[in-house]
Amino acid sequence: MNITNHATNVLLTLHTELSKLPVIFREQVCEECNFSTPTFYRKMRGIDRRVDGRLIPALSNAEKQKIREVGEGVTKALVASIFGDGEK
């Protein structure tokens, strides 16, 4: 992702990069958490529930942490591609 080329239409370029994010995020989460694509979507729809008074989480704590890390990495990559190396 690099949006610093001013010769192109910045609106088109930015929209294109933003449109790629869901796929990049999903692919990285699937790789890091060892999910298939169907598992990713099934886990995304899941909610924590109670069975016989016990909480059954939709995601494990490790999965939650890894998903947050992937989200942070994808977000940082996008910001870096828009603003360059830390330039805001």
Alpha-carbon distance 88 to 79, whole Å? Answer: 9
pTM of the model as a whole: 0.77
Domain limits, the chain: 10-83
H or E stretch including 50? strand 49-51
Q: Tell me the pLDDT tens digit for each residue of 28-43.
A: 999 999 999 999 999 9
Q: How far is CA 13 from the centre of its chain?
A: 19
Q: Is residue 88 pLDDT above 50, yes or no? A: no
